[in-house]
Amino acid sequence: MERIIKIISDSSCDLPKELIKQQGIDIIPVPLTDGVNNYQDSVDIMADEVYENMKKGVIYKTSQVPLKDYIEKYTYYAQNDIPALSLVMSSGLSSSHATSAMALDTVKETYKDAKILTVDSKLCSLAHGYASYLISLSAQKGHGFDDLLELLKFLQDNIISTATVDDLKYLARGGRLSNVTAVIANTLNIKPFLHADDGSLHLFDKVRGLKKMYRRYIEVLKERNATTDFSKSTILIEKSDDDEMMLTLRDMIKEEFNINDDNFILGQIGPTIGAHIGPGSMCMFFLKNPLPDKYF
């Protein structure tokens, strides 16, 4: 009997801890620094501390997962003959996938028969996390690498990622934003809307004020969803440091589409992504087409 494929992800995926534990997803922490101290995302620094410090002017920088960490992780699976699929943060945001591929090549020099694959998720934050979660569900049903990669391709093509930030300076500072000018007048209470294309971020709209921001999120759901029936949909919302903003959006969506709490996964934008988008940010993710039953 074939062993179930283990899913490896990294801490930038922002998947809630209870779902990580439920699925047994192996998380590799992403390094970050404040210029004085070095940290590992969600190991020795948590999101709330990052946002509080950013408000005080602390600048955090992230780096890719070190080569040695990938080698150590893949060696463990190779030594124990455990098949594994490593879903790496989008190459549009990080060079981690290239590093993970180099690490796997190194490990396979010793363990030539290792059943391990590393792939560019082409997704970021909770979109990456949701993909890790769904693929782990499929793996636990006994699906092999080919099916899991097919499912990943479906998710890459169908997950809609939308975000708002309070200030584009964080994205501009880190060079993580393409086709966007960071000259947004914060004094005018303008909320820039971003979407992710292969993990790279692009400005697609801007609105003024919170009320219009909430309505624009709902419009995105209507515009980008292939169905008008949201009863079987899962909508993912995450915030940096403002619970009220996230819960308000959830409640407005519930009322608009006559759905309930079971249709939502709520989370927090973790230190890795948060270091680049800053306090006051919020993201929403959903599938524009239903999940194919054959993978589950």
If asked whether residues 144 and 175 sit together in one domain, one would say no
Whole-number Å distance between alpha carbons of 172 and 219: 27
Across 16-30, 81-95, 176-190, the highest mean pLDDT is recorded for 16-30
If asked whether residues 199 and 118 sit together in one domain, one would say no
198 in any annotated domain: yes
Whole-number Å distance between alpha carbons of 99 and 63: 12
249 in any annotated domain: yes
Q: Which pLDDT score is estimated for 240?
A: 98
Quick: pLDDT tens for 142-179: 999 999 999 999 999 999 999 999 887 887 776 655 44
Residues 6+ apart with CB under 8 A from 159: 123, 127, 130, 131, 285, 286, 287
Whole-number Å distance between alpha carbons of 268 and 272: 11
Q: Which pLDDT score is estimated for 91?
A: 81
Provide the pLDDT confidence category of residue 206 given band limits of 50, 70 and 90. confident
If asked whether residues 153 and 254 sit together in one domain, one would say no
If asked whether residues 89 and 211 sit together in one domain, one would say no
If asked whether residues 204 and 146 sit together in one domain, one would say no
Whole-number Å distance between alpha carbons of 185 and 82: 52
243 in any annotated domain: yes
| Six token digits for residue 275 | 């270091």
If asked whether residues 145 and 206 sit together in one domain, one would say no
248 in any annotated domain: yes
32 in any annotated domain: yes
C-alpha closest to that of 129 among 203, 19, 228, 31 = 19
Residue where one domain finishes, among candidates 106, 136, 157 = 157
116 phi, psi to nearest 5 deg: -135, 135
If asked whether residues 195 and 138 sit together in one domain, one would say no
If asked whether residues 153 and 165 sit together in one domain, one would say no
Q: Which pLDDT score is estimated for 183?
A: 52
If asked whether residues 242 and 146 sit together in one domain, one would say no
C-alpha closest to that of 50 among 241, 186, 201, 182 = 241
pLDDT beyond 60 at 139:
yes
Q: Which is more confidently placed, 253 or 199?
A: 253
291 in any annotated domain: yes
Alpha-carbon torsion angle 208, 225, 122, 74, nearest 10: 120
Residue where one domain finishes, among candidates 110, 126, 157 = 157
The percent of residues above 70 in pLDDT, for the chain, comes to: 93
Mean per-residue pLDDT over the chain, rounded: 92
Q: Considering only the C-alpha atoms of the chain, give the largest distance between any 2 of them, rounded to a whole number of Å.
A: 62
If asked whether residues 129 and 215 sit together in one domain, one would say no
C-alpha closest to that of 214 among 232, 187, 239, 241 = 239
Quick: pLDDT tens for 207-259: 988 999 999 999 999 999 987 789 999 999 999 999 999 999 999 999 999 99
C-alpha closest to that of 96 among 12, 159, 154 = 12
1 in any annotated domain: no
CATH code for the domain in which residue 181 is found? 3.30.1180.10
Q: Which pLDDT score is estimated for 55?
A: 96
Provide the pLDDT confidence category of residue 102 given band limits of 50, 70 and 90. very high
Provide the pLDDT confidence category of residue 203 given band limits of 50, 70 and 90. confident
Q: Which pLDDT score is estimated for 187?
A: 47
Query: Which residue blocks in the chain are alpha helix, DSSP H?
Result: 17-23, 47-55, 67-79, 96-110, 125-140, 145-158, 169-174, 210-224, 243-257, 271-277
249 phi, psi to nearest 5 deg: -60, -45
Q: Which pLDDT score is estimated for 179?
A: 43
If asked whether residues 132 and 198 sit together in one domain, one would say no
If asked whether residues 153 and 11 sit together in one domain, one would say yes
Q: Provide the domain count of the chain.
A: 2
Residue where one domain finishes, among candidates 133, 157, 181 = 157
167 in any annotated domain: yes
CATH code for the domain in which residue 153 is found? 3.40.50.10170
Are 273 and 32 contacting, i.e. CB atoms less than 8 angstroms apart? no
Q: Which is more confidently placed, 91 or 122?
A: 122
Quick: pLDDT tens for 14-69: 999 999 999 999 999 999 999 999 999 999 999 999 999 999 999 999 999 999 99
Domain that residue 76 falls in: 6-157
